[in-house]
Amino acid sequence: MADDNPDGDPTPRTLLRRVLDTADPRTPRRPRSARAGSQRALLERASSRRLSGQTKMIAKGRSHGARSIGRSAHVQARGHLEEQTPRTLLKNILLTAPESSILIPESVVKPVPAPQVVQPSRRESSRGSLELQLPELEPSTTLAPGLLAPGRRKQRLRLSMFQQGVDQGLPLSREPQGNADASSLTSSLNLTFATPLQPQSVQRPGLARRPPARRAVDVGAFLRDLRDTSLAPPNIVLEDTQPFSQPTVGSPVYHSLPCTPHTGAEDAEQAAGRRTQSSGPGLQNNSPGKPVQFLAGEAEEVDAFALGFLSTSSGVSGEDEVEPLPDGVEEAEKKMEEEGVSVSEMEATGAQGPSRAEEPKGHTQVTEAEGSQGTAEAEGPGASSGDEDASSKAASPKSASSTPESLQARQHHQFPEPAPPPGAAVLSSEPAEPLLVRRPPRPRTTGPRPRQDPHKAGLSHYVKLFSFFAKMPMERKALEMVEKCLDKYFQHLCDDLEVFAAHAGRKTVKPEDLELLMRRQGLVTDQVSLHVLVERHLPLEYRQLLIPCAYSGNSVFPAQ
């Protein structure tokens, strides 16, 4: 505790920690005045979000930046009404039972933000709550903020990942600063996090330390279910995204690649393990809203790699019934995140998806997410097996389906749909067809428009002027008549100007020609000169351009 951060530079967190350790947390003013001022400045400098979590836990009433925890501590911060500082809030939090949702490290990233939408620094607050329990083990807690001090905003993200990684024993490769120290500290943190987190982890088994493979499996199965459109006949909604359900195309493609998906799945598994961890628990444990969001985001990615699936995944589904599920799920997740998925991965997911169709039914949320993904993928591989589609359809058609369907429908309208879900395909094709039908007629109308419109648009200006000058209601046919008159007038005008310019031996029409024309028209007379007309009818800007005027410096504009 006493030692500074391994970083070397005393960060606000370390300072706060020191203060916390030394000062009496119950009197926020005292310590604050003593050192809080300096620390406050430091803290305020740092992003409030970043510090909210850690400083709160450390300061326990020493607050400085983040007021994110204010929500819970408002009630108890009566004593310091004037200062609803994070410190008081932290104290209140400590007094009150910390919410389990906040404490869960993994859920911090996703579930925590959802319930704590109000607070901008959701992660920090969650982390802070996490660390609230840590103070009980002070030495460990002090380390925690120290660890987090190095990276600014990145720490937020890294902390969540870090926590997950710590739990999982993954190395903290993302911390840019103090990696060595951070790693050692993280290991120590592991201990600290592990003990207090266990109760929460129990509540949320998905968030607790789990082998990445397991989580991936769930997600993989989930994704596979999504892909297995053929298995789930009720998932017609998902199927609907496919405008063309042509099982023939998908099935042969699907069966053609039996082996590659496995290897690719494995690689994808590991790569996606990290992400699946965050996404997996989020998918499994979060409310349907989360999976929907996740799915929506994934749907697009899924579409991207679903395309690959179509081309590559062939015949995999039927053969890899048992193994590929976890791999496929992971891959699917990863792909969704990284749209550029390798063919092998896509094949793997595709293979695994259909095989998993049967299993993931248990995971409602997972299946939902997978369902949306699966629809995209199912469209690609073509759901070689009808049962796959059926299973995926059954799982998915929930809220997630709507958004991913729309996305998938648009993107995968070209993909053939597997034959097995003919009913689903029919239903899916029905909504998709009208979309397709609407598109072709549109381009036809754009042809003749550009020709007449600009001319008419210009004329309409004068037509409006006509109606303004008339000061009487007019019929539409009368306005059309005015347009014809204007056309004729312009023709006459150009001819006259050409004659006048030719008479003067010029090829350029000059204002003198215009004045001559107006004189002949009877608009300009000896009593009424052109300048008078210009002043009467044209706005000031044009007047300045037309009528030569003397300006300072012995200059005349426009030059004569």
Find out whether 330 and 273 touch, Cβ atoms under 8 Å.
Answer: yes
Q: Does 557 bind another protein (CB under 8 A)?
A: no
Binding-site member from 511, 532, 549, 557 for another protein (CB under 8 A): 511
Q: Which is nearer to another protein, 30 or 492 (CB)?
A: 492
**With helix as H, strand as E and coil as C, how does 345-380 read?**
HHHHHHHHHHHHCCHHHHCHHHHHHHHHHHHHHHHH
Find out whether 384 and 251 touch, Cβ atoms under 8 Å.
Answer: yes
Q: Which stretch binds another protein (CB under 8 A): 110-118, 158-166, 285-293, 471-479?
A: 471-479
What is the C-alpha separation between 97 and 518, in angstroms, rounded? Answer: 91
Q: Which stretch binds another protein (CB under 8 A): 288-296, 394-402, 420-428, 493-501?
A: 493-501
Binding-site member from 157, 170, 194, 486 for another protein (CB under 8 A): 486
Sequence-ordered list of residues with C-beta below 8 angstroms from that of 115, at least 6 positions apart, any chain:
101
Instruction: Tell whether the torsion through CA atoms of 60, 66, 67 and 68 is positive or negative.
Output: negative
Q: Does 523 bind another protein (CB under 8 A)?
A: yes
Q: Does 508 bind another protein (CB under 8 A)?
A: yes
Q: Up-side HSE of residue 346: CA atoms within 13 Å toward CB?
A: 29
Find out whether 384 and 313 touch, Cβ atoms under 8 Å.
Answer: no
Site for another protein in 421-460 (CB under 8 A): 454-455, 457-458
Binding-site member from 202, 437, 499, 549 for another protein (CB under 8 A): 499
Q: Which is nearer to another protein, 136 or 498 (CB)?
A: 498
To the nearest whole angstrom, how small is the minimum distance from the Cβ of residue 445 to another protein? 24
To the nearest whole angstrom, how small is the minimum distance from the Cβ of residue 229 to another protein? 55
Q: Which is nearer to another protein, 7 or 483 (CB)?
A: 483
Q: Which is nearer to another protein, 117 or 472 (CB)?
A: 472
Q: Which is nearer to another protein, 343 or 538 (CB)?
A: 538
Task: Name 557's bridge partners.
Answer: 549
Nearest to 280 by CA among 204, 392, 340, 352: 204
What is the C-alpha separation between 155 and 177, in angstroms, rounded? Answer: 10
Binding-site member from 115, 194, 270, 490 for another protein (CB under 8 A): 490
Site for another protein in 79-118 (CB under 8 A): none
To the nearest whole angstrom, how small is the minimum distance from the Cβ of residue 497 to another protein? 7
Find out whether 373 and 221 touch, Cβ atoms under 8 Å.
Answer: no
DSSP state letter for 334:
H
Q: Does 515 bind another protein (CB under 8 A)?
A: yes
Q: Is the peptide bond before 288 cis (omega within 30 degrees of 0)?
A: no
Helix (H) or strand (E) holding 329: helix 324-337
Helix axes 449-470, 476-503, angle to 10 degrees: 100
Task: Name 254's bridge partners.
Answer: 314, 315
Task: Name 389's bridge partners.
Answer: 230
Q: Does 503 bind another protein (CB under 8 A)?
A: no
Helix (H) or strand (E) holding 442: helix 441-445
Binding-site member from 30, 78, 153, 461 for another protein (CB under 8 A): 461
What is the C-alpha separation between 373 and 167, in angstroms, rounded? Answer: 29
To the nearest whole angstrom, how small is the minimum distance from the Cβ of residue 446 to another protein? 21
Find out whether 531 and 514 touch, Cβ atoms under 8 Å.
Answer: no
To the nearest whole angstrom, how small is the minimum distance from the Cβ of residue 511 to another protein? 6
DSSP state letter for 32:
I
Binding-site member from 117, 539, 552, 559 for another protein (CB under 8 A): 539
To the nearest whole angstrom, how small is the minimum distance from the Cβ of residue 463 to another protein? 8
To the nearest whole angstrom, how small is the minimum distance from the Cβ of residue 494 to another protein? 4
Q: Which is nearer to another protein, 322 or 528 (CB)?
A: 528
Q: Which is nearer to another protein, 82 or 475 (CB)?
A: 475
Binding-site member from 474, 532, 549, 556 for another protein (CB under 8 A): 474
Binding-site member from 443, 448, 473, 505 for another protein (CB under 8 A): 473
Residue matched to tokens 């995968």: 412
What is the C-alpha separation between 334 and 211, in angstroms, rounded? Answer: 17
Nearest to 70 by CA among 48, 51, 92, 55: 92
To the nearest whole angstrom, how small is the minimum distance from the Cβ of residue 549 to another protein? 13
What is the C-alpha separation between 218 and 552, in angstroms, rounded? Answer: 83
To the nearest whole angstrom, how small is the minimum distance from the Cβ of residue 393 to another protein? 54
Q: Which stretch binds another protein (CB under 8 A): 8-16, 203-211, 332-340, 537-545?
A: 537-545
Q: Which is nearer to another protein, 343 or 509 (CB)?
A: 509
Number of residues engaging another protein in binding (CB under 8 A) = 66
User: Contact positions toward another protein, by CB under 8 A?
Assistant: 454-455, 457-458, 461-462, 464-482, 485-486, 488-501, 507-511, 513-518, 520-523, 530, 533-534, 537-539, 542, 545-546, 558
